[in-house]
Amino acid sequence: MAEVYPSNNDLLNLVSESDTGVEYIPTGTAPYYLQFRKLLYRLLLACKKANELRVFDEGGLDVGVKAGSFWYGTTLVNYAGSSGNILADDKANIYLYLNSTGNLVIDEYSAFPDMATTPHIRLAVVTTSAGDITSITDCRGGHGFVIPQ
């Protein structure tokens, strides 16, 4: 289902977005490219946290994981990020997660562990076929980067 935009007139009169602080470029502003770069800068700052611990396709069967952090009880666990994580081919579900000490686990045989018995941060489920990654399903949103102890 498509999301409805405000009317053209309302869009043209927007000055800034209150939740993120991103400012809209006023109509007729020059130099436009400088204003566009300012807008892009603010958007990137607003999206920065959403990029933490994101699994991404590096080509072929390789995935990377962006750096990030999460809380395990009262301990902040930092993950430096990684690249060149080679996945098995022709797998319907490969489960990528971080264990409670911040080590990347790639499980191509079963599923995510039970959260009650094995504390972990779910990152993604990846599907591979014919020597390539065919889909990455982001699983980070279910726990907000906090592992209960």
pLDDT (tens digit per residue) in 90-149: 999 999 999 999 999 999 988 999 988 899 999 999 999 999 999 999 999 866 545 555
Domain count for the chain: 2
Q: Are residues 15 and 68 in the same domain?
A: no
> Is 2 part of any domain?
no
Q: Are residues 101 and 56 in the same domain?
A: yes
Dist CA 60 CA 134 (whole Å): 10
By three-state DSSP, how is residue 77 classified?
A: strand
Q: Are residues 69 and 111 in the same domain?
A: yes
Of 19, 25, 57, residue with least CA distance to 41: 25
What percent of the chain is predicted at pLDDT more than 70?
Answer: 94
Work out the mean pLDDT of the chain and round it to a whole number. Answer: 89
> Is 4 part of any domain?
no
> Is 86 part of any domain?
yes
Structural domain span for residue 21: 9-47
pTM, two decimals, is 0.78
**Sorting pLDDT into bands at 50, 70 and 90, what band is 4?**
confident
pLDDT at residue 59, as a whole number: 96
